[in-house]
């Protein structure tokens, strides 16, 4: 895995943050297992972007903001919103990137979900489906044509990022072994249906790296 992919391919590492790891506020089961897999995979990529879920303290996606139960849902102006436990509050330990994530050459960190009244699972477009994070423009400015996605959580932020990568015209591969899911009411099955329908390629780290090096 010593060769680097051309700069036409970017690895996008989604939300590998303390709050999504075991012990965190919105722990993804076995979320910690992806860290060494991603560290190793990242060495094969010249262009790496990281994302950080980055919410204000009383964000609209938090159950506590509405006095509601975590994991219930609420109709908001932009659509149906799952209400989460308070997580990834700006500048807290929970929002920090996992300390064992080791990708010194990553060039960009995109923070998302920082608008008080709009959530953003996707690294590309917020939940109002109009506000852009700027990631597509950044990738295009660098001639990127293909996006490889890894991280947390597969059924929410990875899935929505993959679907939006396709919508923005990028080829998109999800490395399944380098992701873990939350799993809420069949969310993972639904997410794969939508991703595959959007033309996302489902692969695994070693297999994909072997076939594209």
- Cβ 73 to ligand VGL shortest distance, Å: 12
- The 23-62 site mask, x for binding ligand VGL (CB under 6 A), equals ------------------------------x---------
- Nearer to Zn ion by C-beta: 113 or 151? 113
210 part of the active site: no
User: Choosing among ligand VGL, Zn ion, none, which partner's interface includes residue 156 (Cβ < 5 to 8 Å by kind)?
Assistant: ligand VGL
Assign 90 to helix, strand or coil. coil
112 part of the active site: yes
133 near 112, Cβ under 8 Å?
yes
81 near 59, Cβ under 8 Å?
no
Q: What is the spatial distance between Cα 156 and Cα 169, in angstroms, rounded to a whole number?
A: 20
> Which residues are CB-neighbours of 100 under 8 A, at least 6 positions away?
32, 35, 36, 39
Give the CB-side neighbour count of residue 80, counting CA atoms within 13 A.
Answer: 3
Residue ranges in 135-194 that form contacts with ligand VGL under rule CB under 6 A: 152-153, 156-157
Instruction: Write the burial class of residue 191 (CB in 10 Å: 0-12 exposed, 13-18 middle, 19+ buried).
Output: buried
Choosing from 9, 15, 38, 205, the residue that interacts with ligand VGL (CB under 6 A) is: 15
Question: Judged by CB under 5 A, which stretch of 35-43, 45-53, 65-73, 145-153 contacts Zn ion?
Answer: 45-53
Residues that bind Zn ion (CB under 5 A): 53, 113
Residues that bind ligand VGL (CB under 6 A): 15, 20, 53, 84, 121, 152-153, 156-157
């Amino acid at each position: 895995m010593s060769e680097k992919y051309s700069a036409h391919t970017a690895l996008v590492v989604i939300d590998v943050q303390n709050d999504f790891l075991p012990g965190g506020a919105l722990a993804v089961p076995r979320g910690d297992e992806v860290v060494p897999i991603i560290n190793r995979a990242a060495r094969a990529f010249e262009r790496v972007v990281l994302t950080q879920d980055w919410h204000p303290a009383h964000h609209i996606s938090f159950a506590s903001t509405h006095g509601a139960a975590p994991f219930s849902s609420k109709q908001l102006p932009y659509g149906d919103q799952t209400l989460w436990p308070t997580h990834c509050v700006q500048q807290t330990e929970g929002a920090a990137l996992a300390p064992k994530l080791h990708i010194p050459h990553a060039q960009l960190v995109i923070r998302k979900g920082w608008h008080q009244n709009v959530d953003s699972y996707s690294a590309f477009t917020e939940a109002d489906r109009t506000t852009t994070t700027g990631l597509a423009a950044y990738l295009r400015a660098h001639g990127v044509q293909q996006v490889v996605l890894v991280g947390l959580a597969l059924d929410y932020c990875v899935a929505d990022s993959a679907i939006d990568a396709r919508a923005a015209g990028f080829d998109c591969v999800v490395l399944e072994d380098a992701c873990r899911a939350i799993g809420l009411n069949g969310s993972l099955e639904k997410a794969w249906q939508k991703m595959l329908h959007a033309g996302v390629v489902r692969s695994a780290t070693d297999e994909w790296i072997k076939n594209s090096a």
